[in-house]
Structure 1
């Protein structure tokens, strides 16, 4: 398969990309690195990225993350800023990308555990992940040409515990191998509209 990975230089991407490259042709894209540059907060940038790449069988997005927030000071403006990348950016990868993805192609988005498990400081992250789950359910019955869509929803990864573990006491960390298996499943199995929870 010819697979586009957006965010290949991040924590997950650095492990997922070489794993998938053993069996598939990989094209990487990112804001500051990759074969192609893309800013997923920009519809124009996303469209230009797709125009540069032909014959794509799969698009995996593991880019964009939101900062922690302070609920007592949280504003609509801050929420909209957080939504711009991880929510609307991923949604636009699908809405715009459905024209470019091959027949039977597949989209894989990334949400997160906070859609289901609340912690302080991640209100925006929880809202974004929940919205992505609903979007995937709807998109799975709307996409043309037998295209598929799924979302991987990871907990904190063992590789990130040292950096973030103190912020989320008691949150179970998952192995990178478990996470890679979930992404691989969305590519290689004939599933659609699935929320693959790796918690």
Structure 2
């Protein structure tokens, strides 16, 4: 398959790239500042340009999304709007514009996260964004068939415990390679409307 990988330069994106390429897929990497194609998916016009440049593809996978972390009392309306644009609307637009651009039985795999169901202090924007994205995936799945759509919802990565482990006390981490294999499951499997939690 020819797969468009958004957020290819990060820790997760790198692992997803390796996992999918190892299975013989052709990967087109996309990032804001690096990759085969450089586009900002938070800008709708750039999503259009991205699809124009990429040509016919079989699957879109996203490992990208930015949200602010602050206590609720310090959050502003702009912070919540930023979280919505940075993680939700950007990925929704990949689907909205991508339905007409990917193969008839192609798929979308988006990234949410454990905070949709297991919030931590300062995570209100991330929890909001992840929950909204998961709701969108379930709704979109019933409309875009035979194309498929799923979300990956990981907890903290084992490789990121030094930086973020204190924010997730008692929460079992997951190796980023395991998360990458779940992307493989989503791309190559037959399920749709799923939120793969790990």
* TM-score bracket for this pair, using the shorter chain length: over 0.9
Q: Corresponding residue for 1:13?
A: 13
- Runs of 5+ unmatched residues, structure 2: none
What is the rounded CA distance, in whole Å, between the counterparts of 1:164 and 1:97 in structure 2? 33
What is the rounded CA distance, in whole Å, between the counterparts of 2:130 and 2:65 in structure 1? 12
1:113 matched to 2:114? The reply is yes
What is the rounded CA distance, in whole Å, between the counterparts of 1:67 and 1:158 in structure 2? 22
What is the rounded CA distance, in whole Å, between the counterparts of 1:142 and 1:95 in structure 2? 11
What is the rounded CA distance, in whole Å, between the counterparts of 1:53 and 1:33 in structure 2? 15
Q: Corresponding residue for 1:130?
A: 131
Write out aligned runs for 1:32-51 (5 A).
32-51=33-52
Q: Corresponding residue for 1:86?
A: 87
Q: Deviations over 1:80-129 (max 9, x none)?
A: 01211111000100001111111100000000001000210100000101
Q: Corresponding residue for 1:60?
A: 61
**SS of the residue 2:142 aligns to:** coil
What is the rounded CA distance, in whole Å, between the counterparts of 1:107 and 1:130 in structure 2? 17
Which structure is higher in RCO with an 8 Å CA cutoff and minimum separation 6?
2
Q: Corresponding residue for 2:175?
A: 175
CA deviation after TM superposition for structure 1 residue 192, in Å:
0.4
- Tell me how many residue pairs correspond in the alignment: 197
Q: Deviations over 1:151-178 (max 9, x none)?
A: 0000000011111112222222111232
**SS of the residue 2:185 aligns to:** helix
Greater helix content: 2
1:194 matched to 2:175? The reply is no
Question: Which segments of structure 1 move beyond 6 Å, counting only runs of 4 or more?
Answer: none
Aligned 8 A contact 2:60 2:108 in 1: yes
What is the rounded CA distance, in whole Å, between the counterparts of 2:66 and 2:44 in structure 1? 18
What is the rounded CA distance, in whole Å, between the counterparts of 2:178 and 2:18 in structure 1? 15
Q: Corresponding residue for 1:102?
A: 103
**SS of the residue 1:87 aligns to:** helix
Higher deviation after alignment, 86-95 or 160-169: 160-169
- Runs of 5+ unmatched residues, structure 1: none
CA deviation after TM superposition for structure 1 residue 188, in Å:
0.8
